[in-house]
A = this chain, B = another copy of it.
Amino acid sequence: MPDAADPAPMNAPSRRRFRREGEERRRQDLIEATLDSVAEHGLQGATLRTIALRAGVTAGLIRHYFPGKEELLQEAYAALMGRMTEQAKAALAMEDASPRQRLAAFVTANLNVPIIDARVFSLWATFIGRAGADPSLARAHREGYLGFRNEVEAVVAEVLAAERREPDAGQLRHHAIAINAIIDGLWIEGCLAGEMFSPGELAAIGIKTVEAELGLVPEREDNQ
């Protein structure tokens, strides 16, 4: 008998079986499938049919949860940004540690998996590339960026205070901008060519560079 492996009857025009999922679950599945599709095929390759296939549903269902593709992409981007900033900030949550240790932990967390990740980078670049033309994307980025930089600035202030230094607002801002740049730049290098660096190398470079930026004395290591 042909098609014996398929449980569907031969001649019945039977529909596909399906399950009703909760709304929140379906939305998140669709968003995740969207991010997967965008990461793999780019914004152009992420068609509604591709996304639906990956989410295990049919394309028509997407319209039941999102007004259109545009809104789906926006929500997907928002979800991505939220996850990224959440992970980054989580690294600062060490309560019982010196400011300097917390800063080092922050840098380390941002320069290792899961934040160093080719898929996340691909998504970030794909979306941010449209920030120049899409004001809503630009705003979403700016908010995320400023939030991140403010976190950095707060830690820097603590670190310098512990060192009995009293930077003014402008110096603090410059430190935050520079440290943010260092982390961003190393993050990109790690995402794009992670295998060029030995494990922990990027984090070590990051900590050293950040501490040099702040004028902290190296702790007990000869260096050139």
Contact = CB atoms under 8 A, between A and B. Distances in A.
Given A42-B133, A131-B122, A185-B181, A213 B209 contact: yes
Nearest to A134: B42
A212 B181 CA distance: 14
Contacts of A215: 212
A213 B206 CA distance: 10
A182 interface: yes
A145 interface: yes
B142 A193 contact: yes
Contacts of A188: 181, 184-185
Nearest to A177: B205
Given A185-B182, A205-B178, A224 B128 contact: no
B181 A42 contact: no
B182 A182 contact: yes
A180 B130 CA distance: 24
Q: For the complex formed by this chain, how many copies does it contain in all?
A: 2
Contacts of A130: 42, 122, 126
Interface stretch (A23-31, A60-68, A167-175): A167-175
Interface residues of A, number: 56
A41 interface: yes
A40 interface: yes
A180 B189 contact: yes
A22 to B, nearest CB: 32
B181 A145 contact: no
Given A178-B208, A208-B174, A224-B165, A131 B192 contact: yes
A14 interface: no
A166 interface: yes
A183 B40 CA distance: 28
A91 interface: no
Contacts of A128: 125, 192
A186 interface: yes
A209 B192 contact: no
Given A39-B133, A145-B192, A171-B223, 5 more contacts: A42-B130, A125-B125, A127-B129, A138-B192, A178-B206
